[in-house]
Structure 1
Amino acid sequence: MSERFAYVNGRYVPERDAAVSIRDLGLVYGDSVFDTWRTFNGKIFKLEEHMDRLIESLAYARIDAGMSRKEMLEATLNLVEHNSPMLRPGEDYWVTLRVTGGLQNFDGEPARNSGATVVIDCIPIPLRARAPFFRHGIDARLTERCRIAPGAINPNAKTNNYLNMILAQKEISAYHPGAWALMPDFKGNIAEGAGCNFFVVQDGVVLTPTTDCVLAGVSRQVAIDVCIDLGIPVREQDLPYDMAVSAQEAFFTSTSLCVCPVASLNGAPYSGGVPGAVTGRIMEGFAKVVGMDYVGQYLNFLSDGPASTGL
């Protein structure tokens, strides 16, 4: 093999041949949902949990995938197995399954929409771009642009429309290259980072926003479970900016980052270090859950290059 394959509507095709119609509703209207896994040592982590969330997103968006849960799981696993020879030493995959509403119909023309479009693809985790975050921590910057209010779009549905977060990240990157956008909710409390959940540690207690205005991340839940297993107090609550910036430690969680320390918020460094004592324990606990030194994996790709979110 010299090229990765993708899955498109029942067929495994080389990436260069993978395509969807210009009339696809995911492209035309953003009528689409997705979920993303990552592999550790080539094996998908939390396969069922991510699929649970995809099924919930499909129901929320009223999209019929035209495939059973079992069929989607099998297609995902088959694709990863097919693409495993293309992984370079030390790398792992992001694995994404997207489902759109299918093709757009036009008045006065024969119906062309015969069902949903289902695409699955694998790309390498951006280990090189993000490695500096695991050495120096993330510089988080709060945006003026708030996260979409839950009354508009449920934050717990993973839709393909990421423009809200992408604009926030672009605005931060324009003034603070390498920094990661952190967005408030419509009430002015901290919500979530662009594509990741946010935690702080205050006097030994781990605090994170409730899922009223943020995605209930799978890795977020793993981190919460690790805290419970380690006897670290953890609480979900509204998180005002003043509380977040005055904490001793902070970290992000996401499918690809796992648990990654945040070094500063709006340029104000956290006093607990990188990582802080509590954050370090959670990172170690997370590594045990996934069965791999994921921090070491990132640091193996550390170079003198600038950090990048990869978004």
Structure 2
Amino acid sequence: MFPDDLYQPGRKIAGYSAILLPLTKTAAPDWAGFEAHVARTFDAGLAPAINMDTGYANLIDSATKTEALERTREIADGREYVSGAYVGDQPHSSFDEAAYRTEMELIQSFGSTPVIFQSYGLTTGSDADIVQRYQQLSQYCEKFVAFELGTMFAPFGKIYSLDVYKELIQIPQCLGAKHSSLSRELEWERLRLRNQTREEFRVFTGNDLAIDMVMYGSDYLLGLSTFAPDLFAKRDKFWETSNPQFFELNDTLQYLGHLAFRVPVPAYKHNAAQFLKLRGWIETDETYPGSPTRPESDLFILQEILDRLERWM
């Protein structure tokens, strides 16, 4: 079905931006670069998302996650930010409620809202099983963000049925859900269901290949926005004020998205480091050990995109 019924010009967009964890030449966290990037994301008017896939949540240790939360809390000074609650497991693992509770309570102790990453244990079983697990987790927090993740991003990901999604919408503590299927039609279905069920529930697009989903009522929680939180915020303002520059700026940012989110998709984090280094915002373009890399030839294309974006900076 065409999405004409969803089109919402002039809407104020809520933007959440996954923060890249930059690295030094020795592959240690570049905390100065991290803090500066968190600050510029806040200053742009976006809510930082800490310890997400963009921050190597599946690779970093607990001490690094905790330090990222500590440093972000100081910069936030009461402003909203969200953080990934990641529980690593293996295929056929059982649901580890205790591990999720530990992650969620840690995140909340720093004044942040948990984004509940999927795991094999969370997403196996029937629809009723999955819903019950989210209901169990909801008792450990005032609010949380759910997360559907396609397997192109992570092997433990799962895109839920609409029946599961409808039940998630009706959990009072669930303020929204990030949808990362890279499918417009699946996201449109969720937007229609949201509009019929609970209007304040936020559908956070995670479709880095269709960032114009904000035109149809989606908000966003994106890895792509870490490349340019300033320009995403400007694009959002153009939409809110019905400024036609929205379309050209969105097109150029989408060009960046199509380059960065090609196969293998997780290598977008290396492109992010390359782009942020080109902008002079971080010192190296190192990516975390174990994360896939991009060729050095990408730098030429990234610079060309940066040159196109210069007019809006």
Give the structure with higher Rg (CA): 1
TM-score normalized by the length of structure 2: 0.29
Normalized per residue, the structure richer in strand is 1
Normalized per residue, the structure richer in helix is 2
